[in-house]
Chains A and B, each alone.
Chain A
Amino acid sequence: MQLLLLLAVFVIATCGLIYELVAGTLASYLLGDSVTQFSTIIGVYLFSMGVGSFLSRYFNRNLLRWFIQIELLVGLIGGFSAMLLFIVFPLSASFRIVLYVLVFLTGAGVGLEIPILMRILKDKVEFKELVSRVFTFDYIGALLASLLFPLLLVPYLGLMRTSLFFGMLNIAVGLFLAIKFSREIKRPGVLRAMAIFLILAELVAFVLSNRILSYSETLVYNDRVVFATSSPYQRIVLTRNKKETRLFLNGNLQFSSADEYRYHEALVHPGLQAVRSPKQVLVLGGGDGLAIREILKYSSVDSITLVDLDAAMTKLFTSNSMLVSLNQGSLLDSRVHVINGDAFSWLRDNRRQFDFVVVDFPDPSNFSIGKLYSNTFYKLLYQALKPEGIAVVQSTSPYVAPRSFWCIDETIRSVGFHTAPYHNLVPSFGEWGYILAMKDSVYHAPTVYVPGLRFINVATAQQMFVFPQDMRTTKPLAVNKLNNQALVDYFEEEWSTYLE
């Protein structure tokens, strides 16, 4: 009995330390600043062990049963801790609370176990011996854990499986003790059943851990995640509910199948319809092929060049059946040439001129993307446009971010373009803005549109060019340049106050 219990101490010590290492690593990984994370977690853990030790005095009967029960509890909490933390993280407000509660509970459990164990053994072993052995095993366990964790566990199992694995080990010890000492405890069957159930539960979680991770993403996205991949450039996630499919890039909504037509019709037709017999079209960004779907409605168009950074995107939109039906196979059309490359670099080397250009980049939320809204970029755009040609630039929301919107307008005009800004309502985005850029000074609104459109017609198009006062700004605007990135500052300020 003695040796068995000491082995149990050994396992407990190992498991306890592993849970803390998992918690610390995970918190550093999700929250950053590993020094703070590790020291607060170790602090809370040690403190809660003290609390556990203190509480041990209130356990006076059925010590062995208590010991096993605590063992199971620690195995349960510790085992699922990493998974729980991953899932809770998106609900960021409560993440730290959950983190420290978990650390506290495991710490208190481990803190309870050792004193209880010593009391179980105190009549069987001489005190001197007892102390020496219990702590020897305790510390050897700690050493083992500290070596295994960085060298084997994290690289091979990952955090979630590591904690589940040790959870199972914890419970297995409990189960083993429950079997071994079934005569010394009351109702051992209940304990056994509980332990087996817990082990099975953790085993299932262990096997399904990857899917569970995607479930945690589902929580971020509200809907079921039907596809997720990480390209070198971004995290691409596709979600679906009964009504719609949504695409997220790095967590930002790109479109919802329910109303994307409003966005893409507005992006393409006011400009393209105004070009007389357009032939050559360039699309920058927009690897989803949805703008191209609209462009292909013009029979005069004989070539569409698509430049999109991310091959994973264009591949997804040429292979996934759901998406191909959404873009009507536009990327597979023989008139479409897909180039996976950096738009700025491509445009700098480009010598061709186009009748129509769609500039559909993500919003200028950081300095990397801000470059694609600079006057230097628009100078290249100017060179890439035929004299009679028109370019359209997606320009974020003039309602949420009027300064950003009009800064883009200012910047486009600064290189010699004439502009015609407009906007429409896309329910899943809100009020959205676009800017037509022309070498010619007047925009001749089309008097007829290609058939089959659901949003744009002569009347709705006309309204789009009217800007109410709440989509304007009186503040001074700088031209966005590579060496001032003024737009990124405006954008950050406007969207963060809006989202507050």
Chain B
Amino acid sequence: MQRRNFIQQVAALTGTGFLLSQCQTTGQHKIPGRIVGASAKVGHLLRDKKIQGAPQSTTQAEVVIVGAGVSGLSAARHLYKQGVQDFLVLDLEAHAGGNAAAGENNVSRYPWGAHYVPIPNNDLKDYLSFLQECNVVTGYNSEGLPVYNEYHLCFDPEERLYINGSWQEGLVPRNGVPAEDLKQVQRFLDHMHQLRYAEGQDGKDAFAIPVNHSSADEQYTKLDGITMKEWLLQQGYTSEYLHWYCNYCCRDDFGTRYDETAAWAGIHYFAARKGKGANAEHQDVLTWPQGNGWLVEQLQKDYRDKIKLNSLVTSIRPTGGGVEVLYMNVATGQLQAVHAKQCVVAIPQFVAQRMLAPELNRQQLVQQFSYAPWMVANITVQELKERRGEALSWDNVLYNSESLGYVVATHQSIKQREPVKVLTYYLPLTQGDVVTARREAAAMQHEQWVDIILNDLRKVHENIAAAVTNIDVMVWGHGMIRPVKGFIHSDARRLLNKSINDTIFFAHTDLAGISIFEEGFYQGLQAAESVLKARMSG
């Protein structure tokens, strides 16, 4: 009798516990917010070939740039700097920036995609001069090292990891990690350090930025033929903590699991960064509340009037002495044409192939381009309850979580207190194959994303559900190029990067094989250089 009493009491009490936890969490109120970025629908008009008819008007421009992402804006900036005035940038979205676009609410600005850049490698002169122009680099010290603006260098504390019951400083697992594993982790980091300064037979850096400046030495390029996971095992790295860390890094940078990412790309993440500043080291990063949206604003500040938004490009066709670009005003549905001497195509290849004449078996080559789907959420929160350990940092990661954790958009505020914050939550959709993941993501409802997010973050912030006031969600169907085994050193990349008739040029991070700001910057710059060259000779 007493035993039964006992058991039933437990049941009654746990029932109570359950009830209590329900009240604290989602049960009570629906979290406001919405899924933003409906332009995928507009893009699908193109995929489904729904746009036909003749243009209603035709204009002229010297150069047309298709796409106002980092690559397109960088191309436009370079043209502008070189004195080309008559150009037009077209983008289907209502804002420029592409994957580096930003949003804003009454608390803060926040990124929708790209949120930081590491300090640049010192040999990237054009990039450095851009950064100096926008006062991110404030000058150079007596040793010639760039001095970084300390408002833009990520404030301390920068990163923390929730692992084995508490938050530790930094993302490399240490807290509660066995000594044997720690040794392996250290060996790995030393290994990466050594590769950072490695050079190939041709005297080039083994791992460089832009990717295309890297050594062609087989010793290194062969790493493109195996996955990061295979490479780790080959090298005798077996620690599960180290494997988690490498998988995290690959998912973070490429939206791709480490058992799919090429080892060359996985290592590039660690070994390509070799910048040194007067007041910063290679691992230091630059960030802003709106992430790389800040850099996007700087890229376009001189020629904003030349950017035409809400303009979906539907066809790019070489004509006698130039090129004809057709685009649709997504608000009115009107089709328009621009005739230009040259065109820079700064959009992903899987989109570009739909609007270009099928030459060079473009369609077939594009099959080798695979893109990672992502979900990004911006979460407005009140005071959060914290677990033990390191204080709230800029980047907050949960060990063994499906997500990459969150970045605090308000972190770079100099204010002593920011009671309400915006957290940008990143979830690369890397379970299973990308096509299924993309389809499933598109079908998800706002509440379902909210549940996923809250269930994840509840592990570290007990009161997350009560503290959240809004969650907006963005799904990137084709977020970034996936540097899977063999892709970076494939011919597809090189062939699709070739200009058409010296009138149509290509610039996009997918052509680099690695989607980072610097690659976009140089893709644009090089395309603009080619345009200028063509003009000189033409």
Residues of A within 8 A of B (CB): 17, 20-21, 32, 34, 38, 42, 45-46, 49-50, 53, 114, 131, 135, 138-139, 142-143, 145-147, 149-151, 232-233, 309, 342-345, 348, 366-372, 374-376, 481-485
Given contacts A342-B416, A482-B156, A483-B156, contact A151 B23 (CB under 8 A): yes
In the assembly, what is the distance between CA of A42 and CA of B417, in Å? 38
B residues 3-21 near A (Cβ < 8 Å) are: 5-6, 8-10, 12-17, 19-20
Most buried by B among A46, A342, A483: A483
Interface of A is mostly: helix
Q: Which residues in A have their C-beta under 8 angstroms from that of B156?
A: 367, 370, 481-485
Given A344-B414, A367-B156, A368-B417, is A149 in contact with B16 using a C-beta cutoff of 8 Å? yes
B385 touches A32 (CB 8 A): yes
Contact B416 A348 (CB under 8 A): no
Task: Determine which residue in B6, B12, B19, B151 has the highest number of CB atoms from chain A within 10 A of its CB, and name it.
Answer: B12
Asked if B260 is at the interface (CB within 8 A of a chain A CB), the reply is no
Question: In the complex, what residues of A have CB within 8 A of residue B6's CB?
Answer: 46, 49-50
User: Which residues on the B side are within 8 Å of A370 (C-beta)?
Assistant: 156
Contact of A375 among B150, B158, B385 (CB under 8 A): B150
Q: Mark B48-74, 1 if CB is under 8 A from A, else 0.
A: 000000000000000000000000000
Is there contact, CB below 8 Å, between B151 and A369?
Answer: no
Tell me if A369 and B416 are in contact (CB < 8 A). Answer: yes
State whether A142 touches B2 (Cβ < 8 A): no
Complex Cα distance, B13 from A499, in Å, reads 41
Contact between A34 and B157, CB atoms less than 8 A apart: no
Binary A-proximity of B386-405 (CB < 8 A = 1, otherwise 0): 00000100000000000000
B1-45 Cβ-contact flags toward A at 8 Å (1 or 0): 110011011101111110110010000000000000000000000
Could you say which residues of chain A place their CB within 8 Å of the CB of B79? none
> Assuming the A-B contacts A53-B2, A367-B391, A483-B150, are A150 and B20 also in contact, with contact meaning beta carbons closer than 8 angstroms in the complex?
yes
Q: Which of B73-114 contact A (CB under 8 A)?
A: none
Check: B279 CB closer than 8 A to any chain A CB: yes
Q: Which of B2, B12, B154, B391 contacts A139 (CB 8 A)?
A: B12
Assess whether A42 is in contact with B13, with CB atoms less than 8 Å apart. Answer: yes
Q: Which residues of A contact B155 (CB under 8 A)?
A: 367, 371, 482-483, 485
17 contacts between A and B (CB under 8 A): A42-B10, A135-B5, A135-B8, A139-B8, A145-B16, A147-B19, A366-B391, A367-B157, A367-B391, A368-B416, A371-B414, A375-B150, A482-B150, A482-B153, A482-B414, A483-B153, A485-B157
3 nearest CB pairs, A to B: A146-B16, A485-B156, A344-B414
Check: B125 CB closer than 8 A to any chain A CB: no
Selected contact of A21 from candidates B14, B16, B154, B385, CB within 8 Å? B16
**Chain A residues within an 8 Å CB radius of B157:** 367, 485
In the bound complex, CA of A309 to CA of B418 (Å)? 12
Q: How far is the CB of B33 from chain A (nearest CB, A)?
A: 25
A368: chain B residues within 8 A (beta carbon): 416-417
Beyond A149-B16, A150-B19, whether A342 also contacts B151 by CB under 8 A is no
Pairwise interchain contact A342-B279, C-beta atoms closer than 8 A: no
Give the interface size class of chain B: 35 or more
- CB–CB A483/B462 < 8 A: no
In the assembled complex, which residues on chain B have CB atoms less than 8 Å from the CB atom of A344? Answer: 414-416
A50, A138, A482: which has the most chain B beta carbons within 10 Å? A482
**Is B284 in the interface zone, CB < 8 Å from A?**
yes
Distance of A304 from chain B, by nearest CB (Å) = 21
Q: Which of A146, A232, A348, A366 is B414 in contact with, Cβ under 8 Å?
A: A348
B538 CB within 8 Å of chain A: no
**Selected contact of A146 from candidates B2, B15, B279, B391, CB within 8 Å:** B15
| A232 interface neighbour in B1, B9, B385, B419, Cβ under 8 Å | B419
Interface pair A483/B417, CB less than 8 Å apart:
no
CA distance A370 to B385 in the complex (A): 21
Would you call A342 and B415 a contact (CB within 8 A)?
A: yes
Chain B residues, Cβ within 8 Å of A142: 9, 12-13, 16
- Are A131's CB and B284's CB within 8 A? no
The complex places the Cα of A345 from the Cα of B151 at a distance, in Å, of 12
Q: Is the CB of B414 within 8 A of A481?
A: no
**Complex: A114 Cα to B4 Cα, angstroms:** 14
Q: A46-B13, A482-B150, A483-B154 are in contact. List 15 more A-B contacts (CB 8 A).
A: A20-B13, A32-B462, A42-B10, A42-B14, A46-B9, A46-B10, A146-B15, A146-B20, A151-B23, A233-B417, A345-B414, A367-B155, A372-B416, A374-B150, A483-B153
Chain B min CB distance to A290 (Å): 20
Tell me, in angstroms, the Cα distance from A145 to B16 when the chains sit together: 9
A residues in contact with B15, CB < 8 Å: 146
* Smallest CB gap from B414: residue in A: A344
A297 to B141: give the CA distance in the assembly, Å: 45
Min CB–CB distance B392 → chain A (angstroms): 8
CA of A482 to CA of B15, assembled, Å: 48
Chain B hits for A371, CB < 8 A: 155, 414, 416
Give A269 Cβ to nearest chain B Cβ, in Å: 28
In the bound complex, do residue A481 and residue B2 qualify as a contact, i.e. CB atoms below 8 Å apart?
no
Docked Cα-Cα span, A313 to B6, in Å, equals 54
Tell me the chain B residues, 149-169 only, with Cβ under 8 Å from chain A: 150-151, 153-158
In the complex the two chains form, what is the Cα distance from A343 to B462 in whole Å? 32
Q: Determine the chain B residues whose CB is within 8 A of the CB of A348 once the complex forms.
A: 414
| Identity of the chain B residue whose Cβ is nearest the Cβ of A139 in the assembled complex | B12
A308 to chain B, nearest CB (A): 11
A372 partner residues in chain B, CB cutoff 8 A:
416
Q: Which residue of A lies closest to B9 (CB)?
A: A46
Query: Shortest beta-carbon distance, B159 to chain A, in Å?
Result: 12
**Contact at B9–A482, with CB atoms within 8 Å?**
no
Shortest beta-carbon distance, A306 to chain B, in Å? 16
Chain B, 119-159, contact with A by CB distance < 8 Å: what is the 0/1 string? 00000000000000000000000000000001101111110
Contact residues in B for A309 (Cβ distance below 8 Å): 416-417
Residues on B with beta carbons closer than 8 Å to the beta carbon of A484:
156
CA distance A348 to B155 in the complex (A): 17
CB distance from B52 to the nearest CB of A (A): 55
**Is there an interface contact between A146 and B150, defined as CB atoms closer than 8 Å?**
no
A114 to B5, CA, bound (A): 10
Contact residues in B for A143 (Cβ distance below 8 Å):
12
Taking CB atoms, residues of chain B closer than 8 Å to A151 are: 23
User: Which residues on A sit within 8 Å (CB–CB) of B17?
Assistant: 38, 42
- CA A21 to CA B279, docked complex, whole Å: 54
A233–B154 Cα distance when bound, in Å, is 24
A482 to B, closest residue via Cβ: B155
Whether A376 lies near B23 (C-beta < 8 A) is: no
Given the complex of chains A and B, what is the CA–CA distance between A131 and B8 in angstroms?
14
B279 to chain A, nearest CB (A): 7
The interface residues of chain B lying within 8 Å CB-to-CB of A53 are 2, 5
Q: Which of B9, B153, B157 neighbours the largest number of chain A CB atoms within 10 Å of its CB?
A: B9
Shortest distance in angstroms between A155's beta carbon and chain B's nearest beta carbon? 10
Report the Cα distance A374→B412, complex, angstroms. 14
State in angstroms the CA–CA spacing of A343 and B5 once bound together. 62
- A255 vs B338: C-alpha distance in the bound complex, in angstroms? 73
Complex Cα spacing A366 to B393, Å: 12
Please tell me if the beta carbons of A17 and B13 are within 8 angstroms of each other in the complex.
Answer: yes
- Provide the bound-state CA to CA distance between A204 and B279, in Å: 64
**A345 close to B13 (CB less than 8 A):** no
- Once bound together, how far apart are the Cα atoms of A463 and B414, in whole Å? 37
Q: Report the Cα distance A21→B155, complex, angstroms.
A: 42
How near does chain A come to B96, taking the closest CB pair, in angstroms?
28
A20–B462 CA distance with the chains assembled, in angstroms: 20
Residues of A within 8 A of B5 (CB): 53, 114, 135, 138
